[in-house]
Amino acid sequence: MIIRENIKISELVTMRIGGVARYVFEIEDESDLPNILEELNARNVKEWYFLGCGANTFATDSGFDGAIIINKMKGIKSEEKDDSVVFTVDGGVDWDDFVRETTLKNCTGVECLAGIPGTVGAAPVQNIGAYGQEVKNAISRIFALDMESNETVELKADECDFSYRHSIFNSTSRGRYFIYKVEFELRKGEIEGELYGSLQKYLDDNNITSREPNVLSDAVRAVRDSKLPDPKYIASSGSFFKNVYVDESEIEKLDEMGIPHHGTKVNTGWLIENSGLKGKVFYGFKVSDKASLVLINESADSYEDLEKAVSEISKTVEEKFGFKLEQEPNVIGK
Ligand code: EPU
């Protein structure tokens, strides 16, 4: 384990926002797991935060008087079965590297999650989802260090309360489980059923009829590249706002108001765009002109400015359509 002190969180997260963290612990091997609590106690650290590669997280300007714990383990193992492959993947593996391994083995299940910035260990936390797939459907087991008992535990997918951008890891059990390894079981073969609209359109426009996993993952990467900023070059944290979900009873009202929706999911990017906010800049943060749920940090360096920008955007949408926007990324220490 590597322990560093007084590290700027803005340098650990893709939104480039956040003050100083007292400690950063880098976990390099499973043999480090039993020592984490001991090292925290030795420094009298009472608070900790598990971070992947910071693609969906930032911190307030006052930083974090605790330890940020980062999984640096990067192993991938796979075991072939008759119709499926079981992948056992360390939490520190880059998510898209794992997707490539699965498509190389002609497995379906996560090919539409190609190109999502982040790590494998972070994927279950917000149950990453895109282009019709959600990671919850691919996970069989999660291996975690339980910070309450200081024991390693195995959690099955149905113990994690997964739903849209939600799990026990970002709600009821926040901070409790350090996910160090995830097991996925993926079927060999091709995706079934209808494809996500913009993905199908890309395939049609390019005369692609194959549904092979690697063909679909390449198509997803192309669609993403045309809409979403690459956090390596442009500071952002992906979709900043979640899509709003309504009750079944409210669908009729959406139709009356001419608001596009997919079942109970309101196309919230549309709400933001149709509030006249697309491409507008607030306190250094730009509402992406390609995907309105995304905020790009063009020139800001404070969380205070982010809060002001978010409050203006949310107020404008609520006044126009009556929907409250909800933030997607996590804030360290909040
Ligand atoms: N729309 C607009 N204007 C916009 C953006 C969207 O009118 O500026 C409307 C359109 O009607 C469009 C619909 O919203 O058809 C859906 O748009 P899109 O396919 O671009 O997806 P999204 O709802 O904006 C969500 C996820 C993305 C994911 C895509 C594709 C959330 C918060 N975001 O975005 O995930 O890649 O679907 O599945 O659910 C992320 O979470 O960081 C992320 C990028």
**C-beta separation of 14 from 294 below 8 A:** no
Topology (CATH level 3) of domain 2-71: 3.30.43
Please compute the mean of the pLDDT values over residues 185-191 and round it to a whole number.
Answer: 98
- Per DSSP, helices labelled H in the chain are 36-42, 95-104, 197-205, 213-227, 251-257, 268-273, 303-321
Q: How confident is the model at residue 277 (pLDDT cuts 50, 70, 90)?
A: very high
Buried b (16+ CB within 10 A) or exposed e, 148-157: eeeebeebeb
pLDDT band at 192 (very low <50, low <70, confident <90, very high): very high
Say whether pLDDT at 211 is over 90: yes
For the chain, which residues make up each domain, given as ranges?
A: 2-71, 76-227, 236-332
Of 217, 239, 275, 288, the catalytic one is: 239
Q: How would you list the strands of the sheet with 261-262, edge to edge? A: 244-245, 265-266, 261-262
Q: Is the pLDDT of residue 106 over 90?
A: yes
Q: Ligand 1 atom closest to Cα of 270?
A: 7
- Report the pLDDT averaged over residues 199-214: 98
| Residue 131 CA, closest ligand 1 atom number | 38
Q: Looking at ligand 1, which residue's alpha carbon is closest to its atom 5?
A: 269
Residue ID of nearest Cα to ligand 1 atom 25: 130
For residue 54, is pLDDT > 90?
Answer: yes
The pLDDT-based confidence of 334 (bands split at 50, 70, 90) is confident
Do residues 99 and 113 touch, judged by C-beta distance below 8 A? yes
Asked if 43 is an active-site residue, the reply is no
Query: What is the CATH code for 236-332?
Result: 3.90.78.10
Q: Which amino acid residue places its CA nearest to atom 26 of ligand 1?
A: 130
Q: Which of 16, 134, 165, 167 is catalytic?
A: 165
Q: What is the pTM of this model?
A: 0.96
* 8 Å CB contact between 64 and 45: no
Paired tokens of 32: 């480090």
SS (H, E, C) 106-164: CEECCHHHCCCCCECCCCCCCCCEECCEEHHHCEEEEEEEECCCCEEEEEEHHHCCCEC
154 flagged as catalytic: no
For the domain made up of 76-227, give the CATH fold: 3.30.465
pLDDT of residue 333: 81
Question: What pLDDT does residue 291 have?
Answer: 97
Cα torsion 330, 18, 12, 36: sign? negative
The mean pLDDT of 139-158, rounded to a whole number, is 97
**Minimal-distance CA residue to ligand 1 atom 41:** 239
Q: Quick check: is 328 catalytic? A: yes
Q: How confident is the model at residue 243 (pLDDT cuts 50, 70, 90)?
A: very high
